[in-house]
Structure 1
Amino acid sequence: MSQNLSEPRNLKILVVDTHELILDVTINVVQKQYPEGEISIAQNAQSAFNQVETFQPQLLIMELSLPDSCGQYPQIETGIQCLRTLMKKYPQLNLVVFSSYTKALVRIQTADIYAHEGGFAVIDKSLPRQEMLNSLDVVLKGGTIYPGRKTREVNYNWLELLNLAFQEGLTDQVIAQRMNVAQRTVRHYWSQLQAFLGIDPQQSREEGKNIRIQTLIYAREAGFID
């Protein structure tokens, strides 16, 4: 169950976004919807954690592309890890992902989202204002809005594989060592991932395409990797 809000004036809202202009617009819209509410802001993941501890919001609205701390570059993976931590540590906190990178939520198990005790919503920043506000009301009542829910879950070995290959630039041999599996298992992961993404290796070879680069492009489009 979500946190009980007995009266509107008790509502505390934390808005987490690295862009000041977006923060200003979001705060203005939310304040008009909940004029008795108290709003605080955070502009990076560490600040968000601190604010949740001290401010104790009932509703948290967050961007996914966040820096870990002040002065660092925003990363979608940082936001994903921040969201995972919030869901685990504060299971009753009402959460709204308000972002242009909602595809990246494929990195979180659908079951974990629906198991979250508080309200949970995914809102793309391109959606109309009223649709966003309607979603906030649903979340505050403990509801879940996840339009991007997956019909097939992602194997999280694939995400580790992508990170090691494209973020760290490792070969399959070293990836196998890091993942503590046989090298043939790594090749199997590649085959599974490419099939999931709709890549036909034989056709790609016939068309003269680099399969690894094609996998990277498709994986980014699907939100698997930054």
Structure 2
Amino acid sequence: MSKLALGLAGAGGITGAGGFAAYQAGLFSSNQELLTVRETLSKEGYVLVSEDEKFQEFFKEFKGDAGFIGELNKYSTGGEDLSKDTNGGKGKVALKNMCSSYLNTKDKLDKAIKWCVLRIQDKKLEGKAWRTIAAEDTDQGDWKQAFDGIKTKAIKYGVTGINESTESTNGYPILKKWCSDNKKLPISNKNKTTLDNAVDLCSKTE
């Protein structure tokens, strides 16, 4: 698959469906045979979910998405509605089967990237842990302190909105949002620099 086609398919891990469909419809030309989902993911450095615990975690996270549940129910046992699975025991099995079924296809890349690969926030860190991102800003003190310590790195890495004159009161929400947005990106060759920067800016020593 051409770099252009993959970029359209996987941009942000979420928004590439339209571009990928256009490629499939022949709006973009390629001299190469279209690769399978497995081949494309491997070539571009994506990391497939493999642990049962992570499948269960993903199921619980995505089950509120009607599109996800609608797709996943195709893989449920006996046509069971998996939106009613509260602990994820059945959902993780269906998700594992669904992701496995995508690998030898050539038209499910967008869904595989969206639901079946690890994101930056899923990476296990050595000697560090990802900073908690609280929705209600109850972690303000932690992020203010973090900002003071890594402001120079944030400037070096080009975080928009942070410069030498930015104080912690105004800077920590920018840093927090950057971490929230970028940690959701899939691990891939394309996002390697973002991953490295996120480890520096969004984690803390245990």
TM-score category of the 2 structures, normalised to the smaller one: 0.3 to 0.5
Per the normalisation by structure 1, the TM-score is 0.31
Q: Which structure's residues are more often helix, by fraction?
A: 2
